[in-house]
A = this chain, B = another copy of it.
Amino acid sequence: MYRTHSNGELRASDINTEVTLAGWVQKTRDKGFMIWVDLRDRYGITQLIFDEERTQKSVMETASKLGREFVIQAKGTVIARESKNPNIPTGDIEILVSEVTILNEALTPPFTIENETDGGEDLRMKYRYLDIRRNPVRENLVFRHKVTMAVRNYLSEKEFVEVETPYLIKSTPEGARDFVVPSRMNEGQFYALPQSPQTFKQLLMVGGMDKYFQIVKCFRDEDLRADRQPEFTQIDCEMAFVEQEDILNTFEGLTRHLLKELNGVNVAEFPRMTYDDAMKKYGNDKPDIRFGMEFGELNEVTQHKDFNVFNQAELVVGIAVPGGNTYTRKEIDKLTDWVKRPQIGALGMVYCRCNEDGSFKSSVDKFYDQEDLAKWADITGAKAGDLICVLSGDTHKVRAQLSALRMELAEREGLRKANEFAPLWVVDFPLLEWDEETERYHAMHHPFTSPKPGQLDLLETNPGDVKANAYDLVLNGNEIGGGSIRIHDKETQALMFDYLGFTPEEAKAQFGFLMDAFQYGAPPHGGIAFGLDRLVSILGGQETIRDFIAFPKNNSGRDVMIDAPAVIDNEQLKELGLQLNLKS
Taking the complex as formed, is A565 at the interface, i.e. its CB lies under 8 A from any CB of chain B?
A: yes
Answer whether A519 and B24 are a contact pair too, CB < 8 Å, given A166-B553, A245-B1, A577-B582.
no
Contact of A41 among B208, B230, B519 (CB under 8 A): B208
A579–B579 CB distance below 8 A:
yes
A432 CB to closest chain B CB (Å) equals: 25
Residues of B within 8 A of A346 (CB): none
B141–A209 CB distance below 8 A:
yes
| Per-residue B-contact encoding for A444-457, CB less than 8 Å = 1, 0 else | 00000000000000
A37 CB to closest chain B CB (Å) equals: 14
Answer whether A523 and B71 are a contact pair too, CB < 8 Å, given A207-B132, A208-B24, A209-B138.
yes
Answer whether A564 and B520 are a contact pair too, CB < 8 Å, given A207-B138, A210-B41.
no
Residues of B within 8 A of A43 (CB): 210
Answer whether A127 and B520 are a contact pair too, CB < 8 Å, given A187-B582, A565-B190, A566-B189.
yes
A170–B569 CA distance with the chains assembled, in angstroms: 12
A242 CB to closest chain B CB (Å) equals: 7
Interface 9-mer from A56-64, A290-298, A365-373, A554-562 = A554-562
A450 CB to closest chain B CB (Å) equals: 13
B567–A188 CB distance below 8 A:
yes
Chain B residue at minimal CB-CB distance from A137: B207
A224–B207 CA distance with the chains assembled, in angstroms: 27
Q: Using a CB–CB distance below 8 Å, which chain A residues touch chain B?
A: 1-3, 22-24, 40-43, 69-71, 103-107, 109, 127-133, 138, 141-142, 144-145, 148-149, 152-153, 156, 161-171, 173, 177, 179-193, 199-200, 203-204, 206-211, 217, 219, 221, 223-224, 230-231, 233, 241-243, 245-246, 488-489, 512-513, 516-524, 549-551, 553, 556-559, 561-569, 572-584
CB pairs A–B below 8 angstroms (12 shown) = A24-B521, A69-B520, A104-B524, A127-B520, A130-B520, A133-B208, A138-B209, A168-B230, A181-B181, A190-B565, A190-B568, A573-B581
Nearest 9 interchain pairs by C-beta: A132-B207, A106-B521, A170-B564, A189-B565, A2-B241, A69-B521, A579-B581, A183-B565, A42-B210
Please give 17 more A-B residue pairs, beta carbons under 8 A apart, in addition to A2-B241, A42-B209, A149-B162: A43-B210, A104-B523, A106-B521, A129-B203, A132-B204, A145-B162, A148-B162, A165-B551, A167-B217, A167-B219, A167-B231, A168-B553, A177-B184, A177-B575, A186-B557, A513-B563, A577-B580
